[in-house]
Chains A and B, each alone.
Chain A
Amino acid sequence: MKLLTTTILATGLLAGAVQAEDLRMSWWGGDARHAQTQEALAVCGEKHGHAVAAEFTGWAGHQERITTQIAGRTEADIMQINWPWLPLFSPDGTGFADLRDHADTIDLSQWTDEQLAGGEMNGVLNGLPVAETGPVYFFNKTVFDAANLPLPSTWDEVRAAAGKLGDGVMPFEAQGLNAIFLVSTTVTQMTGKDLIDPETTTVAWTPEELAAGIRFYLSLVEDGTIRSWQQVASEGNIELFEMRPWAEGRIAGTYEWDSAYAKYADPLGDQELVPVPMLQVEGAVNDGTYRKPSMLFAISARSQHPKAAAQIIDCLLNDPDAIDILSDSRGIPASRTAAERLTAEGLIDANVVAAHDLVQQGQGPVPSPLSEHPKVRGIFGDYLEAVAYDQIGPDDAAAEMIDEIDRALRSFR
């Protein structure tokens, strides 16, 4: 009996007084991230004696899935949350668990105060930044090498590559979300301002400034640097990395999140995808870098096992074995210990490091999470598409777009 009691007590102490729990974790990503996260969850689950069920999808539809789950109170214990979703799901900081309540379990000292502030709502630490991210220009080096062209460092060089890369090979691609990125970065470079003024929660750009950004996009289509919106749409509702022209090297560049490197590089096989310094428009006042916390790990406010969930989060982000497995699947980790370990061991793809450095060193205004609000993105995308289909001119589109976005932002003032 004594032996049994001792064994039970010892087991309890070894497990940190948290019993074995069944947990769920949800995230979005590509195949590489899915495989690595499942492997890391198995390792962390075993270390802490918990079983963690994996729920993963692609990016498309993930927000709707999380929304439905939260509304139906069926969300996973641990969730990968996009930074702009914080004000939507947790406007007053009560939408997710306060991770500072688990400071004895999660080693928060691995993040700077500024990094932690990015995961706060109303002073409550709702999410731990997994990485910082920003869009970077990536080019297919193999395609440029084959054409004996250097990787472009200016827009003029990108334009000049059109027609020289091979039959039917386009130097760049921007449609849908990427077109929004491109126009936004262009206007930010021209004006030094983010789309939304944080003081007034209104659009910071004038119609003339936005129209100039739209014209820049149109000029890339006109001179054959990028495919027209119509041509890209001919592939159907599909992302660039899933398209055959991308995998076959017939599209040689894009503007994407540094953390999404693997998603775009993997389909290329032996071809090499590399980041280049921010391409700038003439007269740029800064390089327009859009730097923000990327995804956050959060614990459901309704989780029955928050302590166990905190153990898993700490393990995923700070445990050496999990760090090695997850590597750069979500970009360069924000956790100091993870970043140092991966860098020291050379476990991070050199191109991911280079892309991350470009984002960290870049200059641009602090973006508002509302820039990525679905309504704002929807209005921006709809008007760009209408311009691309010649339904409206850039000047009218810019004026109407600003009006509509300002109306959509009213409820956030």
Chain B
Amino acid sequence: MESPRIGLLYLAPYLIGLLVFTAIPFVGSLYLSFTDYNLIQSPSWSGLDNFRELLNDRTFMRSLRVTLLYVFITVPLKLAFALFIAVILNYRLRAIGFFRTAYYVPSILGGSVAIAVLWRYIFADAGLVNMVLSGIGLEPLNWFGDPVNALFTISLLRTWQFGSAMVIFLAALQAVDKSLYEAAAIDGANKWHSFVHITLPLITPVIFFNLIMQMVQAFQEFNGPYIITGGGPLKSTYLLPLYIYDEAFKNFNMGYASAMAWALFVIIMALTVIAFWSSRKWVYYAGDKRS
């Protein structure tokens, strides 16, 4: 067999998966967003009606606001925390392999249903967190019944899944040339100065990569709020993916749900474009004349 054919053969499973599970549904949802489709009967063309309705839909606007808030809370928190832990794990400590694995585990488990259920028990009225608060003499908090606390609680679950970002940061930290630190130390720089003026600029491409990935993932969060709070109270954790799901599968509005999904896609694209545009001012690549 000729080598290009072997290459295609190896690629086939991925390409078929991409086509069947991503490309076709992607194009299909674009078509459905211009239709009135109740899942039972055939879709009927409705033009831009679904998109016009979005502009007057109070639930959509509220859900979008909550989603943006969630993204702007969780992404910086998660990146900062992942970088902080990566810096610690970059030191040559005893049993460092164990700690690196242990800190990575939540990112594997974190998005699962089981962990969401566990989170619900931990932050419940009589849960572990309130028991600890009571134990140290503080008033227990209503984590799920208070709209502000509820959003914070599900944000914390996402922040806790910092492992994958941390591993990428760790790889970037280890790639920083040690001679730069030695030179800085000779010039009298302390650890903080070295971190701010050497480490951070040199890992900005990785910060940028993690920023984009985490932002896209945060916009798609579903499991946490669906299982832990059901989107409540007062829709304070009703992220857009939950609203899309409800419209599609509870209210039989697949056309409208598809329109919302495309609105979400456009928002993510816009923020990604802004991030790429801004990256020219703060991301430094090797060989870049600015650095």
Contact A382 B235 (CB under 8 A): yes
Name the distance in Å between A84's Cβ and chain B's nearest Cβ: 12
A64 within 8 A of B: yes
A407 within 8 A of B: no
Name the distance in Å between B150's Cβ and chain A's nearest Cβ: 8
Q: How far is the CA of A68 from the CA of B254 in the complex (A)?
A: 11
Contact A237 B124 (CB under 8 A): no
Which of B39, B126, B229, B245 makes the CB contact (< 8 A) with A71?
Answer: B39
Q: How far is the CA of A234 from the CA of B40 in the complex (A)?
A: 37
A386 within 8 A of B: yes
Contact B124 A389 (CB under 8 A): no
A95 within 8 A of B: yes
Knowing A70-B40, A230-B146, say if A237 contacts B250 (CB, 8 Å). Answer: no
Contact B234 A391 (CB under 8 A): yes
Q: How far is the CA of A67 from the CA of B235 in the complex (A)?
A: 24
Q: Give the top 4 A-B pairs by smallest Cβ distance, nearest first.
A: A237-B230, A233-B145, A64-B249, A236-B120
B142 contacts across to A, CB distance below 8 A = 230-231, 233-234
Contact B39 A389 (CB under 8 A): no
Name the distance in Å between A100's Cβ and chain B's nearest Cβ: 22
Knowing A236-B120, A236-B123, say if A88 contacts B252 (CB, 8 Å). Answer: yes
Interface residues on chain B, size class: 20 to 34
Interface residues on chain A, size class: 20 to 34
A56 within 8 A of B: no
A238 contacts across to B, CB distance below 8 A = 120, 124
A235 within 8 A of B: yes
Contact A237 B146 (CB under 8 A): no
Interface members, chain A 216-271 (any B CB < 8 Å): 229-238, 244
B83 within 8 A of A: no
- Majority-rule SS of B interface residues: loop
Contact A89 B40 (CB under 8 A): yes
Which of B39, B123, B226 lies at the interface centre, i.e. has the most chain A CB atoms within 10 A of its CB? B39
- Majority-rule SS of A interface residues: helix
Name the distance in Å between A298's Cβ and chain B's nearest Cβ: 14
Name the distance in Å between A94's Cβ and chain B's nearest Cβ: 10
B144 contacts across to A, CB distance below 8 A = 233-237
Interface members, chain A 353-380 (any B CB < 8 Å): 374-375, 378
Given A230-B145, A233-B233, A238-B120, 19 more contacts at CB 8 Å?
Answer: A64-B250, A67-B249, A67-B252, A70-B40, A71-B39, A88-B40, A230-B233, A231-B125, A233-B144, A234-B125, A234-B142, A235-B125, A236-B144, A237-B120, A237-B226, A244-B126, A374-B251, A375-B251, A378-B250
Contact A63 B250 (CB under 8 A): yes
Smallest Cβ-Cβ distance to B144: which chain A residue:
A236
Contact B120 A374 (CB under 8 A): no
Name the distance in Å between B110's Cβ and chain A's nearest Cβ: 17
Contact B229 A91 (CB under 8 A): no
Q: How far is the CA of A232 from the CA of B146 in the complex (A)?
A: 11
Contact A234 B124 (CB under 8 A): yes
Contact A70 B235 (CB under 8 A): no
| B interface residues (Cβ-Cβ under 8 A, vs A) | 39-40, 120-121, 123-126, 142-147, 150, 226-230, 232-235, 245-246, 249-252, 254
Contact B39 A67 (CB under 8 A): yes
B234 contacts across to A, CB distance below 8 A = 385-386, 389, 391
**Can you list 6 A-B pairs with a CB-CB distance of less than 8 A?**
A67-B249, A233-B142, A237-B229, A237-B230, A385-B232, A389-B233
Contact A235 B39 (CB under 8 A): no
Smallest Cβ-Cβ distance to B119: which chain A residue:
A236
A68 contacts across to B, CB distance below 8 A = 249
Q: How far is the CA of A262 from the CA of B234 in the complex (A)?
A: 31
Knowing A71-B39, A229-B233, A230-B233, say if A236 contacts B249 (CB, 8 Å). Answer: no
Knowing A89-B40, A230-B142, A375-B251, say if A235 contacts B124 (CB, 8 Å). Answer: yes
Q: How far is the CA of A332 from the CA of B150 in the complex (A)?
A: 40
Knowing A244-B126, A375-B251, say if A236 contacts B228 (CB, 8 Å). Answer: yes
Q: How far is the CA of A226 from the CA of B249 in the complex (A)?
A: 32
Q: How far is the CA of A67 from the CA of B252 in the complex (A)?
A: 8
Which of B120, B143, B252 lies at the interface centre, i.e. has the most chain A CB atoms within 10 A of its CB? B252
Knowing A68-B249, A238-B120, A385-B234, say if A95 contacts B40 (CB, 8 Å). Answer: yes
Name the distance in Å between A178's Cβ and chain B's nearest Cβ: 15
Knowing A64-B250, A67-B252, A375-B251, say if A234 contacts B39 (CB, 8 Å). Answer: no
Contact B145 A91 (CB under 8 A): no
B124 contacts across to A, CB distance below 8 A = 234-236, 238
Q: How far is the CA of A244 from the CA of B226 in the complex (A)?
A: 21
Contact A91 B40 (CB under 8 A): yes
Q: How far is the CA of A232 from the CA of B145 in the complex (A)?
A: 7
Q: How far is the CA of A386 from the CA of B233 in the complex (A)?
A: 9
Name the distance in Å between A229's Cβ and chain B's nearest Cβ: 7
Interface members, chain A 55-79 (any B CB < 8 Å): 63-64, 67-68, 70-71
